[in-house]
Structure 1
């Protein structure tokens, strides 16, 4: 099924519903008197009337529950066609929702993050002193905001935390005293 075929089927579906449920003489409200022939419970009747109204509003095929309740009004070929079109319509809507979710997720990952170019006052190539008194040269800033630095003197590369300005790996191993 294609999008154009779906639109055609949606138009046929709405046309058929408008034949079953025409506007009352005032032209504002639908006439749901045909629902009396279907012998629906009060909750099903309310569901069908709400679903039909939303169908006219949004121009989409009704969900399976409504289609099932309205099945006696359609001929079998139409009913099968409408069910297939609803399945395609639901798959398409799901694909669109998933695509939007990916876009929103990608956008949310960037909210509140520092810009990629050296933020936090340290510039590429600048020399700074860490919390344990080592002179380090900034090589680059990572995506998380930490810095990759080179220790001045021995050319050793390390990771520097952006907030506390302490080296993640201390220059000398700590000893446990018991």
Structure 2
């Protein structure tokens, strides 16, 4: 399995319809969806697919946003074929006035992801681990910032007057960076 290191984008046009692709790490899923909905509110469709690991269970989903059934299936199929994990693909479609049919849409959505994959930088996926650490209160905000920067989940479990117990979840090498080692 591989995880994504960058966030490549693509743009292409087929019979007047414009397709914008956005391949992102899963930790950026919610903010990216919100941003795309705000920036592309005039777009006819925003479809997406994702694959991520949660509690040692692989979660996959496909959202077709009123497009014909299975027209976006190549997105999930390609993520599987490339063995990508903890990644999401969004494709924004501006309708160009010509119906493409299910086959045409499958090719168009697949091409959006294919163009993103050509620019993708990946690394082998490492199963995240979970550790519990004591952190002084003065260092807690810095730890949260580093956790966000390195894609490490930081959960404050118990706060006391001098510090807090926090759970950190992430790849071992990223945990070290988040902890400042």
TM interval, shorter chain, is: under 0.3
| TM-score, normalised by the number of residues in structure 2 | 0.22
Question: Higher relative contact order at CA 8 Å, sep ≥6: structure 1 or structure 2?
Answer: 2
Question: Structure 1 or 2: larger strand share?
Answer: 2
